[in-house]
Amino acid sequence: MSTQSFRHTSGGRIDRTQTLRFTFDGKAYTGVAGDTLASALLANGVKLVGRSFKYHRPRGIVSAGVEEPTGLVTLRSGGRREPNVPATMAELYEGLEARSQNAWPSLAFDMLAVNGLVKPLLAAGFYYKTFMGPFQKSWMWYEPVIRRAAGLGVAASERDPDRYEKINAFADVLVVGGGPAGLAAALAAGRTGARVTLAEQMPSLGGALLNEPAGGAPDNWISSVVAELRALPNVIILTRTTVFGAYDGGTFGLVERVADHKIEPDAGEPRQRYIVLRAGQAVIAAGAIERPIPFGNNDRPGVMLASAARAYLNRFAVLPGRKIVLFTNNDGAYATAFDLKAAGAAVTVIDARVDGGAIASQAAQQAIEVIVGHAVVETHGSPLVQGVALSPYDIATGQCDNGFRRLACDLVAVSGGYDPQVHLATQRGPKAVWDAKRACFVPGVAPDIQSQAGACKGSFATADCIREGFAAGAAAAQKAGATGKPGELRVPDALTANDGSATFVPAWDVIPPKGLREKKRFIDLQNDVSVSDVKLAHLEGYVSVEHLKRYTTLGMATEQGKLSNVIALAQMAKLRGIDIPQVGTTGFRSPYTSVSLAAIAGHETDMHLRPVRRTPFHRWNEQQACVFIDAGLWKRPWFYPRSGEDVNLAYRRETRQVRETVGMVDVSTLGKIDVQGPDAAEFLNRVYVNGWKSLEVGKARYGLMLRDDGYVLDDGTTSRLSEHHYFLTTTTAEAAKVMSHLEWLLQTAWPDLRVHVTSVTDQWGGVALAGPNAKKLLADAIKDIDFSNETFPYMGVRQGHMGDIPVRVHRLSFSGELAYEVFCPAGFAEAMAEFLRDFGKRHSLILYGVEALGALRIEKGHIAGGEIDGRHTLEDLRMEKMASKAKPYVGSVLRIRPEMTSDDRPRLVGLKPVDKAARIKPGMILQPHNGPYKGHGLGHVSSTTYSPALGHSIALGFVIGGASMEGRIIDAVYPLKGDIVMVEVVPPHMFDPEGDRLHG
Amino acid sequence: MTQYSALAVLRNALSGNTGWTRAWRDPEPKPAYDVVIIGSGHGVATAYYLAKEHGIRNIAVLDKGWLGGGNIGRNTTIIRSNYMLDGNTQFYEWSMKLWEGLSHEINFNTMVSHRGLYNLAHTPGQWDQMARRGNIMRLNGIDAELFTLPELKRRVRYLDYSPTARFPIYGALHQPRAGTVRHDAVAWGYARAADKLGVDIIQNCEVTGFLRDTAGRVTGVSTTRGDIGAGKVGMAVAGNSSLLADKVGLKLPIESHVLQAFVSEPIKPLVDHVITFGAGHFYVSQSDKGGLVFGGDLDGYNSYAQRGNLPTVEHVVTEGKTLIPQIARVKLVRSWGGIMDMSMDGSPIICKSPIDGLYLNAGWCYGGFKATPASGWCFAWTIAKDVPHEFNAKFTLDRFRRGVPIDEKGQGPVPGWH
Amino acid sequence: MRINCPHCGPRDSAEYTYYGDASRVRPSLTDTGVEHWHAYVHERNNVKGPMQEFWHHLHGCRQWLVVTRNTATHEIGAVRFAKSPVSDTAGA
């Protein structure tokens, strides 16, 4: 086991008493509590952690935060395997298991590093210019090879065993970021009494102040503010929580990493929690990220952001190098030099500016060599940095001149200034604007409820951050309606001294001097996009920011260009001879940092993807060994198998027996709508094509509805229960749409009609009883209704009781048999089913499902979902005679347009196979007999079944010519399987066309 | 202009990649053109085919921003021709045929990947509907296969086939030639090829109005870079169609809706095909770079904001994780929104407008990308000949007035439902 | 997005369904003009900026609302019941 030879014996914000064991690529190491994987690796002197995307170059850890482009690993194994985790964001836990990515056979010796030898071949966009030959589809040959080489980590190969949860939360003020600005904002808002949520992505509060040496004034300030916040009951502090997106109406998306810092979640604990937070106001205090400077071979392990080097020392007590070169263009990075020097490292500062000013003098006093007006031109060493070349440098042009000299080192710390994190602040627009004075993008005017404070709006000095944050927090609370006073927040003098180096001279590039061969200067370290790629994009005309990104893949990596976008923009601006804002900036889009899919999915996955709708008979049906079928969200009874039966045997038996004795089917999924009011008849008269004014109380009628464009919307029966009370039914599939349609008409078109519609689908259970014995059965079961044909004729409706159960009985028939639909309040459904089954025994009652229901209705030529598919007219369905000519109704004007009533349209027919043993299959296309089979033919088959009554397969379909084709032979074809069935066109009504059976 | 080839890549590599030239010129607009096309998505394809097939080379393509900055660069890159209704089948199959030869034809590798698309069915009824569609495809010369569950399991291994799933998978319709194309490359490749034929591609040139003669005929456009005369003006501006048409007083049967799309971090190959979930709205493929590219339904309201909201994000992601459980810990890195020109029947419009000199190409809903070659080809034909080709003959504006929509989903005239 | 339903208060847009342009005027039931009906059914406002829209509080009070919403920014303005043209207005 390696020792932590780069760990200091004092300092840092770690707990040395807790040693944590972990492995990287199978090798065992130790770290301590408070480490990240990155700090623990560095403590052990492990600098090579990954391979780059394209050239497979060795890469190390560049940052200490979310911007990490190269230090990506795969964590855990099995169903918990997670690819592409920044080691900088992975908190160490006992037993952590990490692997490097994109390297084969090993990280140290990666075969595809050969790509690096042919770098010029693999320049930006090379793949657009080749891989086209020799054949037309040659890409299909190259693609698998390229796909295997691309990609980073490997996704899990099993189901994730962890839980995820989603919650809805509310706040008056959301504060994003727990640095000095965010803490101050939360405090100001919290003191007013507003409900405050403070979200910080790191495990600890303090932000950039945590980079300062532990135990000093910053720590005192943080702990006093945090203590006050924690004492406020109206403030919720969420750490390890990223606000990844800003959405409309004050909605924000957050992910809290509840258990990622543990080997696995505790019992009952989710791994991550997705929080949809609705905020009255939001203060964005997201901070800034240090900007690198591109120089030759700046990707070698051992090149790191200056702030990261300082973070590793002061947060984790890890010395990231012993002989350090700090390359800077600003004062702020000198703090890194001072702290590293104090920790015992040898430090040389290369200051790109002509004059380092007071800070450089201060460094000299501390025995730190400062070389001004110079730049690091390149690094050398393999695979780790062993030294740099430096050269006199003109910061304005980026050009080095007058030779170079080499300097040995094991760490290059770089600071090119700071980029405000404008991402979240600008997601909803307006775009970020270029601040020429500060040489960075800052957010534009904040939209509606948002405001910004601190480094994310370009205020880098700590005291400014605190003041701005406090003011923004107070203002947000006030806007959110809080009335309390925020009071004062004094900025300690010790923090005022830290000005965060407000100004810097941008250094966009380091062009090597004559005599030094040009090396790759990487801008996007993960995707291997370098300065030369930007030049190539420019040369080829891909000069807008969007073209640049898309052509070179710059900024498309897992960190979405947090370190690279601004540098690339600046370089393109220079190449084009225009200002940076003229090149533009892409809009920032959610998420700010990557978010696991499982978190957003929360618990609404797998069985919980959508609710399940069960009829009130469901449990009873289960007891009858029913097999169910999905119909939208519903579980409907499909068939009731007897021993050894499959669906085909079962539905044929069920169908046959309905026509012989009596069957019962659960029809509770029908849409049921109560229509009440003095104008109900008028309302129905307007929504249905047929007339409703004459329907008497106690009677039902079949109706068809059209859409406004004249196409058929739905059908069903509606019964008049009393003078002003109707009971309307819809098909299962269209129930929700019809309900909305009726509400729409009543509330927008005819608000004067005195009618209420109420969905009662879930309130009523219903069964249909069909077959010759149906009447006898019901007459046995229901004593207070007279079932004689004279008093209760076809299309009659009666209300009565089955035992104590109140029931409505509608004499309707979908099957063509003597049949009734019986509805009861849903709570009585099981009791009613039991009742009917008991009474049914002596009448040979069977249960049937929707497969048999379909068979019965197809035999009768009744239309259903296959025919009402949103594309048919009344004429297509041969039901135009139903339409009243005496009144207007929804769709009455547009339905009679000539091309909608034309005889050229396919119309409903029945179909019978010429060879009675042949089967007409659903989805068959109707073609002229003996072909040629092509195009869209004569029409299609819409519903099929085997008809036990007729003893052969039958179908409904649509054929051009409709009734005029009856008696003709055509072919039903199924080219997918090569089937052809010769069929005779017949009237749709194929069984009992006179309807005798209906009357018993 | 350099001809692209492996040899050219090698030769330029040896000379430090400094020998490449602009993929397309950046010309100043001329005072007038024979044809002005507005929009550089389908617009560049149109210009290319006008020049190549019809010999009309005095053409400008205008874009208000950068080339390919609209929906051609904001989609999920899927190509397919698995349509059922007369009008759509032939048109989209023609597009597929053009895709097959595109990289060679325009000398630009658009990475046309015929990796196959599986439309999943979750009930026997849905499978039967797919049978109808597949049979129509076969009768129209389009490749299609219908797979039962065991057949599907052998071919696609990474889906959740558990019988206890909320919507268990029952089977699938497969189109082998469907797949993906590198979307940006299509815009760039057409632009480069059109430019080579003399077409002026003018970026950052927003059309602010139309020039009309006394008879009302459109004779050009006013732009942010001055007036440009035109013998004919074609508009192919997708989500902005209504706004542009409004400038000539034309009301279109279109609503602009936002559609979000998503991409994950790059992972090693996992999803080898294009998959669509049949019990909701989710589709996914994996880019050559390794990211999972996926999307779902519209947000459901009119929008020009190019961004959407969380309910749709949740819908899409829940369905994706349910369908492919092993992507649970894969992370989302980017999302975006495109503005879809949703027509009243879900099908496009490519025709002469009621105004002389103005031609319409609009109503692509969320399926415009795969149509790019055929859309350009048919629009070019219509502009050049003043009559539609048989492939776009049914894509008329007046079909709504006449009552003959091409409604694949049967949803009726509610744009957001298609 | 959140819509302030005059009956239920502010609710997430996920509770609502959308039906587009609310400025179009439905022809009267007795109007037999094909052109009128065609224009009403197929030609809807599709503006960039503030727009009057129908939203249905499907998973709430099931009232149809007329919402003023900016299609460029998604900002929501006045909300009223569709059935009562002027009164019952809720603030943004």
- Rounded distance between C-alpha atoms, residue B268 and residue B272, angstroms: 11
Beta bridge partners of B339: B258
Beta bridge partner(s), residue A370: A349
Neighbour subunits, B (≥3 Cβ pairs < 8 A): A, C
Instruction: Kindly tell me the sign of the dihedral angle through the C-alpha atoms of B151, B152, B154, B160.
Output: negative
Structure tokens at A342: 């104090």
Which of B332, B334, B412 lies at the smallest CB-CB distance from A711? Answer: B412
- What are the helix (H) ranges across B260-367? 310-323
CB contact residues (below 8 A), chain C span 48-87, against chain B? 48, 51, 53, 69, 71-74
Could you tell me if A344 and A407 lie in one domain? yes
Measured between CB atoms, which of B139, B310, B332 is closest to A251? B310
Neighbouring CB atoms inside 10 A of A9's CB total: 7
What are the tens digits of pLDDT across the range B83-126?
Answer: 999 999 999 999 999 999 999 999 999 999 999 999 999 999 99
Is there a single domain that holds both residue A621 and residue A742?
Answer: no
Inter-residue contact B82 to B117 (CB < 8 Å): yes
C1 touches chain B (CB under 8 A): yes
| B263/B286 Cα distance (integer angstroms) | 9
Classify domain B26-108+182-253+346-396+406-417 at the CATH topology level. FAD/NAD(P)-binding domain (3.50.50)
State the Cα–Cα distance between residues B75 and B369, nearest whole angstrom.
7
Substitution target in B120, B265, B277 with the highest count of A β-carbons within 10 Å is B265
**Given this model, what pLDDT does residue A241 score?**
98
| A249 DSSP assignment | G
Q: With contacts defined as CB-CB under 8 Å, which chain C residues touch B417?
A: none
Q: How far is it, in rounded angstroms, from Cα B43 to Cα A381?
A: 51
**Of A114, A2, A67, which Cα lies nearest the Cα of A420?**
A67
For the four alpha carbons of A80, A81, A83 and A88, in that order, the dihedral sign comes to: positive
Among candidates A130, A536, A607 on the partner chain, residue whose Cβ is nearest the Cβ of B17: A536
Reading the block at residue A79, the tokens are 């169903």
pLDDT tens digits for range A883-900 = 999 999 999 999 999 999
Are C2 and A747 in contact (CB < 8 Å)? no
Which of C29, C35, C84 best tests the A interface by mutation, with the highest count of A CBs <10 A? C29
Residue to mutate among A747, A761, A885, with most C CBs inside 10 A, is A747
What's the pLDDT at A138? 87
pLDDT at A109: 84
| Tokens, residue B305 | 């904001």
Any idea what DSSP says for residue A880? G
User: Which residue, among C36, C41, C42, C58, would best test binding to B if mutated, counting the most B CBs under 10 Å from its CB?
Assistant: C42
Grade residue A871 by pLDDT with cuts at 50, 70 and 90: very high
Q: What's the CATH number where A388 sits?
A: 3.50.50.60
Q: How far apart are CA C19 and CA B300, in angstroms?
A: 9
CATH of the domain at C73: 3.30.2270.10
Residues A767, A839 within the same domain: yes
- Reported as a single tens digit per residue, the pLDDT across B74-94 is 999 999 999 999 999 999 999
Domain assignment present for A642? yes
CA nearest neighbour of B30 among B229, B188, B241:
B229
- Please, how many CA atoms are within 13 Å of residue A636, restricted to the half-sphere of its CB? 24
**In the beta sheet, which residues pair with residue A524?**
A529
Please state the rounded mean pLDDT for residues B376-393.
98
Q: Name the domain count of chain A.
A: 6
How would residue A202 be classed by pLDDT, with cut points 50, 70 and 90? very high
pLDDT tens for each residue of A235-288: 999 999 999 999 999 999 999 999 999 999 999 999 999 999 999 999 999 999
Contact B314 A154 (CB under 8 A): no
According to the model, what pLDDT value does residue A631 have?
96
Report yes or no on C64 lying in a domain: yes
CA-wise closest residue to A513 among A368, A673, A392: A392
Sign of the CA dihedral running C3, C9, C11, C16 = negative
Which among C12, C42, C51 has CB closest to B253? C42
Bond from prior residue into A932 cis (ω within 30 degrees of 0): yes
Confidence band, pLDDT 50/70/90 cuts, at residue A2: low
Q: Per the structure block, which two tokens stand in for A541?
A: 């005309």
The answer to whether the beta carbons of residues B199 and B171 sit under 8 Å apart is no
Distance CA A71, CA A87 (A): 6
Residues in A closer than 8 angstroms to B318, CB to CB, are: 600-602, 604-605, 609
So what's the pLDDT on residue C87? 44
pLDDT for A903: 94
Q: For residue C90, tell me if it sits in a domain.
A: no
Chain B residues whose beta carbon lies within 8 Å of the beta carbon of residue C72: 304-305
| Beta-carbon separation of B410 and A869 below 8 A | yes
The range of the structural domain enclosing residue A782 comes to 612-669+763-853
Smallest CA–CA distance, residue B355 to chain C, in Å, is: 17
Same domain as A800, residue A664: yes
Which tens digit of pLDDT belongs to each residue from A135-190?
888 899 899 988 988 889 999 999 999 999 999 999 999 999 999 999 999 999 99
For residue A242, being part of any structural domain is answered with yes
Report the largest interatomic distance among the alpha carbons of chain C, rounded to a whole angstrom.
40
What is the mean predicted confidence (pLDDT) over A859-879? 97
Model ipTM?
0.96
Q: Can you give the pLDDT at residue C89?
A: 47
The single-letter DSSP state of residue A476 is: H
How much is the pLDDT for A7? 96
pLDDT of residue C88: 44
Query: Under a CB-based contact definition with an 8 Å cutoff, are residues A293 and A327 in contact?
Result: yes
- Does one domain contain both A330 and A461? no
Shared domain check, A433 and A463: yes
Q: How many CA atoms lie within 13 A of A984 on its CB side?
A: 11
Residues of CATH 3.50.50.60 domain(s) within chain B? 26-108+182-253+346-396+406-417
**Predicted confidence band of residue A498 (pLDDT cuts 50, 70, 90):** low
Nearest alpha-carbon partner for B161 in B124, B127, B120, B105: B120
Residue C89: inside a domain: no
Minimal Cα–Cα distance from B347 to chain C, Å?
14
Residue B62, min C-alpha distance to chain C (Å):
21
CA–CA dist A772, A951 (Å, integer): 20
Bond preceding residue A134 cis, omega within 30 of 0: yes
How many structural domains are present in chain C?
A: 1
| Nearest Cβ partner for A248 among C32, C74, C82 | C74
Q: Are A160 and B20 in contact (CB < 8 Å)?
A: no
Domain-located, residue A67: yes
* CB spacing of B302 vs C46 below 8 angstroms: yes
Across residues A940-954, what is the average pLDDT?
98
Please indicate, yes or no, whether residues A345 and A477 belong to a single structural domain of this protein: no
Q: Give Cα separations from B87 to A831, A901, A961, B42, B393 (angstroms).
A: 54, 20, 20, 19, 8
Cα C71 from Cα C51, distance rounded (Å): 7
User: Radius of gyration of chain C from Cα atoms?
Assistant: 14
Write the CB contacts of A629 (distance below 8 Å, at least 6 apart in sequence).
A635, A636, A637, A638, A849, A850, A851, B123, B124
Between A118, A248, A600, which is nearest B314 by CB?
A: A600
Residue A502 has pLDDT above 70, yes or no: no
The β-bridge partners of A350 are A327, A371
What rounded mean pLDDT belongs to chain B?
97
| Alpha carbons B209 and B226: distance in angstroms, whole number | 11
CATH number for the domain spanning A732: value is 3.30.70.1400
Are A350 and A368 found together in one domain? yes
**Cβ-proximal residues to B55 (8 Å cutoff; 6+ apart), any chain:** none
Q: Which residues contact A712 (CB under 8 A, 6 or more apart)?
A: A704, A705, A706, A868, A870, A872, A873, A874, A876, A877
pLDDT tier at A675, thresholds 50, 70, 90? very high
Residue C62: domain span: 2-81
Count of CB atoms situated within 10 Å of the CB of A364: 13
Per-residue model confidence (pLDDT) at position A462? 93
Summarised one tens digit per residue, pLDDT across range A419-431 is 999 999 999 988 8
- Beta-carbon separation of B139 and A973 below 8 A: yes
Local confidence band at A68 (pLDDT 50, 70, 90 cut-offs): very high
Instruction: Mention every residue, 6+ apart, whose C-beta is less than 8 A from residue A342.
Output: none
Q: CA A384 to CA A407: how far, in whole Å? A: 15
Q: Let me know whether A345 and A279 are in one domain.
A: no
Q: What is the structure's pLDDT at A113?
A: 82
Ranges of residues in chain C with a pLDDT under 70 are 85-92
A25 conformational bin, left if phi > 0, alpha if psi -120 to 50, beta if neither: left
Q: Is residue C49 part of a domain?
A: yes
Cα B41 from chain centroid? Answer: 8
When CB atoms are compared, the residue of C37, C64, C82 closest to A894 is C37
Size of the A and C interface in Cβ pairs below 8 Å: 69
DSSP E strands: which ranges in A285-408? 288-290, 303-305, 323-328, 346-351, 369-372, 374-380, 387-394, 399-400, 405-408
**Nearest C-alpha of chain C: how many angstroms from B287?**
31
**Closest chain A residue to B129 measured between Cα atoms?**
A923
Superfamily of domain B117-180+256-343 in the CATH hierarchy? D-Amino Acid Oxidase, subunit A, domain 2 (3.30.9.10)
Answer yes or no: do B256 and C46 touch at CB < 8 A.
yes
**Does B332 contact A595 at a Cβ distance shorter than 8 Å?**
yes
A934-952 average pLDDT score: 97
**pLDDT-based confidence at A504, cuts 50/70/90?**
confident
Q: Min CA distance, B406 vs chain C (Å)?
A: 14
Q: What is the per-residue pLDDT for A500?
A: 53
Query: For A191-238, where are the E strands, in sequence order?
Result: 196-199, 235-238
pLDDT tens digits for range A748-806: 999 999 999 999 999 999 999 999 999 999 999 999 999 999 999 999 999 999 999 99
Residue A889 shares a structural domain with residue A845:
no
Neighbouring chains to A with at least 3 Cβ pairs closer than 8 Å: B, C
Among C1, C26, C57, C64, the strongest candidate for a mutation testing the A interface, having the largest count of A CBs within 10 A, is C64
Q: Cβ contacts (< 8 Å) between A552 and chain B: which residues?
A: none
Query: pLDDT grade, residue A1 (50/70/90)?
Result: very low
| The domain boundary residue, chosen from A471, A489, A507 | A489
| Residue in C17, C38, C71 nearest the CB of B401 | C38
